[in-house]
Each structure stands twice: as structure tokens, then as C-alpha cells.
Amino acid sequence: MKADPKGVLTGVHFIDGDHAACEGALAAGCRFVAGYPITPSTEVVERFAQRIPHIGGTFIQMEDEIASSIAIQGAVWAGKKVMTVTSGPGLSLMMEHIGLAAIAEVPSVWVDVQRGGPSTGLPTLPAQADMMQVKWGSHGDYEIIALCPNSPQECFDLMIKAFNLAETFRVPVFFMMDEVVGHMTERVVIPEASKIELTERRWTKKKPGEYKPYETGADMVPDLVKAGDGYRIHITGLTHDERGYPVINAAAQKKLVERLINKIRLRKHELVDVRLDGVEGADVVVVSFGITSRVTGAAVEEARRKGVKVGHARLVIAWPFPSDLFADLSRKVKAFVVPELNMGQMALEVERAAAGRCAVVGVPHPGGTVHEVSVILDKIMQAAAGKKGSPALEGASR
């Protein structure tokens, strides 16, 4: 289906990532946002609150992030495409309801404009240190999807993809921006609505009486209805059967949790989005995401000028992690170098995929600004020279 022109601000704009993310959501058909404004994500909801009355939809400024993260889930059962927007401290408050969105299979987009932490940390300055939190933060076993834009244009483009994936897989989809991407202003081209392809909600084709809320076919994803349309539905955070009613035993748990996991793990080949640059024949491949990919780009160019065969693999979808791709690459390269604005998170995933077949060198940074290009360059040069370098989880830099 095509986007509704009402929500699409077709044209060429000079806007920051936060504003572009909002426009992406509106173009994707998002018509309900609940949030509690927090730096550096505030501009996303500020713009949504200004725009939505003219388009038709709802923004609620809730009392906190706990309430925001449950209000959006209610709106899904009223038929809306939904989003909430926060930064680290708010994300921490949302953890319980992320688990609910996972077990109740609520298609939803969760924007995290990452800032330095832990706790209130650095409100106005960047980090990329929530990557493991969105993967593992709520208790129990579940799978999510996470995307990492590196420019305002991608905040628009990938936001549409995020909404489409939420509808396809019925999981919480995390939109992992960072303060720099959120507050960086660049040209953003918004196409005509007829050029924007949206994934429609999986509305059931069954009649009331035949429909079961958690019955699935081969793709392991159940179809939806709107509450109030005459279908019998029951939504719970408890382990449930196909009817949606609680069943508290090991057999029901096995059936449900294995499906929640497998609908992503067994289809993860559909979720690989890694932008590769010069990895064929490379001795060293730098793995990056978000704003760090733009700093890495400068370091990679510099290393190539010095004659090093270096490639760049940028994670656009970070979760599920494309481990097959990196396992394959690990057979061909001397080393992976993994710069990130945290003390070693995605580097651990790269190391797991490499499984000892090549070196994995972390380039940790606690955030507050981005890496110096020279720091990444040095690690590339060392790795290319076959120096052992630091393991993925090294101590703090001295």
C-alpha cells in the first residue's frame, strides 16, 4: 500500500535528524504517539505534537515513560500505527512494557536518541551505549529489531522501514539514533506519497468466531483485529495459548516463547542490512553504526591513502545481529576493528561471530563526543600490521 499524502511533507528540507524521524513516522502512517519529552529526543515529539492536529491523529504527553510505553500499546488495539520517543533514562523506565510488547506481539516503534549514561549522564551529548539494553533489557526471552540511522535523510527513510518491519514481524522495533544524528541538520528529500511503500497491518481475513488472536501460519506471525470490531480478543502479559488466554505450564511456554524467538531467528536472513564498502580483498574490516560510521568513513579513507586494504561494514540493522555475514568475513580478514560510543557492546557480537577465526579489536569510547579520526586510524594501522591489539573488551583508555 502507498503512503497517505496527508502525512507526507513532500519536498526538499534542511532539517535535523529528530525532525526527519518525525516526518518519517508521519509518512509511515503513525497516527498515535505517547511520550515524555527528554533531551536529545524532544524535537521528535515537539514536531509531532505540532503536525498531528493538521493530519488527524493523537499526541499525548504522558506523566512519564512508563505510561507512554503502555499507552502506545493500547492504541495498537484501537488500530493505530504507534511510536514512543525517548532517551536512555526514559528507555530504562520502559523496560517492563517492552517485554509486554514482545509477548503480546504489539507492532510498535520505539525511538531512542542515545545520550551519555548511566543514569541522567550527559543530557545534551552523544553515546551509543543502549545497544545491549534494547536487546536484553526486559526480562525473559524475546527478540527485537533495531535500526541505526547515520543521517537526517536516513532518519526519514529508515523510519518508514522501521514501521514496515514492526507490521511484518509484530515485534517492538527500536530506532537507535544518537544525539549527533538527532541534532545534525542536513538536506532531507521527502518523496511523493505515491513513491512511499508501506506495509499494511496484518488484518485477519477470518470471521468473528473463527479468529484466534495468536493463531499463526508458516511465517509464525499472528494476524490482528481492532478491539470493538466484533472479534473476541484477549491480550495478556502472561504466557498464553492461541486464544490469548493464560496457560501457565511448560508446554504453552515452549510453544509461545519458541515462536517469539523463531519468528526472528529463523527469518533473520530477511533482516540483514549491512552497507559494505570495499570488504572484498580487505585485510581489515571496520564495523560501525550510527554517527560512528561517519567518523569511521574518514578513518577508512585515510588508511586507504596509506595503502592499507581496509573495508567498512556499517550496521543499518544491528538486531538481529548479522552473525552469518561476519562469520563468513572472519574467514577472509586479519581483523575486525569495532569503534563505538560505548565501552564495548557490538564488539562482543562481532567477536562472537568471528569465533576466534580473526582478531577483533574494540575501540571503546564513553561518549560525550565522537571518536577522533586518528584513534580509529591507529587501530586500523595496528590491525593491518598484524599487531595483536586490544581485545573487544579492553580496559578503559589511559
Long-range contacts of 266-269 (CB under 8 A, 24+ apart): 266/220, 267/169, 267/219, 267/220, 268/320, 268/322, 269/324
Examine residue 62 and tell whether it contacts another protein (CB under 8 A). no
Q: Between residues 13 and 240, which has the closer beta carbon with respect to another protein?
A: 13
| Helix (H), strand (E) at residue 291 | helix 291-305
Cα 67 to chain center, whole Å?
21
**Residue 353 touches another protein, criterion: CB under 8 A:** no
Decide: is 47 part of the binding site for another protein (CB under 8 A): no
Q: How many residues bind another protein (CB under 8 A)?
A: 18
Sign of CA dihedral 238, 243, 248, 251: negative
CB of 40 to another protein, least distance (A): 11
Q: Among residue numbers 300 through 319, which ones bind another protein (CB under 8 A)?
A: 301
Of 7-15, 24-32, 81-89, 343-351, the segment contacting another protein by CB under 8 A is: 7-15
Candidate residues 111, 127, 285, 295; the one interacting with another protein per rule CB under 8 A = 295
Q: Which is nearer to another protein, 90 or 297 (CB)?
A: 297
Establish if 10 lies at the interface with another protein (CB under 8 A): no
Q: Binding to another protein by residue 298, rule CB under 8 A?
A: yes
Nearest CB to another protein, comparing residues 103 and 190: 190
Of 362, 333, 351, nearest to 128 by C-alpha is 362
- Tell me if 23 sits within 8 A of 12, measured CB to CB: no
Least separation in angstroms between residue 298's CB and another protein is: 4
Among 35, 57, 116, 297, binds another protein (CB under 8 A): 297
Residue 373 binding another protein, by CB under 8 A = yes
Compute the half-sphere exposure of residue 186: CA atoms within 13 Å on the CB side of its CA: 15
Residue closer to another protein, measured from CB, 37 or 74: 37
The least CB distance from residue 56 to another protein, in Å, is 24
Q: Which of residues 172-191 bind another protein (CB under 8 A)?
A: 180, 183-187
The C-alpha cell that represents 119 in the structure block: 543514569
- Which three cell numbers, joined as nine digits, stand for 126? 552523544
Look at residue 126 and give its three-state secondary structure.
strand
Question: From CA 266, how far away is CA 259, in angstroms rounded?
Answer: 10
Contact 65, 86 (CB under 8 A): yes
Least CB distance to another protein at residue 151 (A): 8
Q: Candidates 10-18, 50-58, 236-244, 347-355 — which segment interacts with another protein by CB under 8 A? A: 10-18
298 alpha carbon, distance to own chain's centre = 24
Under the binding rule (CB under 8 A), the answer on residue 12 touching another protein is yes
Q: How far is the CB of 290 from another protein (least distance, A)?
A: 12
120 near another protein, rule: CB under 8 A = no
Binding segment toward another protein, per CB under 8 A, in 6-14, 22-30, 216-224, 270-278 = 6-14
Nearest residue to 36 via CA among 119, 101, 93: 93
Instruction: Tell me how crowded residue 342 is: count the other CB atoms within 10 A of its CB.
Output: 22
- With binding defined as CB under 8 A, does residue 119 bind another protein? no
115 forms bridges with which residues in the sheet?
A: 126
User: In the structure grid, which three cell numbers stand for residue 303, read together?
Assistant: 588508511
Integer Cα distance of 38 and 61 in angstroms: 11
Binding piece for another protein, criterion CB under 8 A, among 9-17, 41-49, 57-65, 138-146: 9-17
Among 50, 61, 120, 124, binds another protein (CB under 8 A): 124
* Residue among 319, 388, 367 nearest 143 (CA): 319
Tell whether residue 375 is a contact of another protein (CB under 8 A): no
**357: its cell numbers:** 577465526
User: What does the binding site for another protein look like in residue numbers (CB under 8 A)?
Assistant: 12-14, 123-124, 180, 183-187, 294-295, 297-298, 301, 370, 373
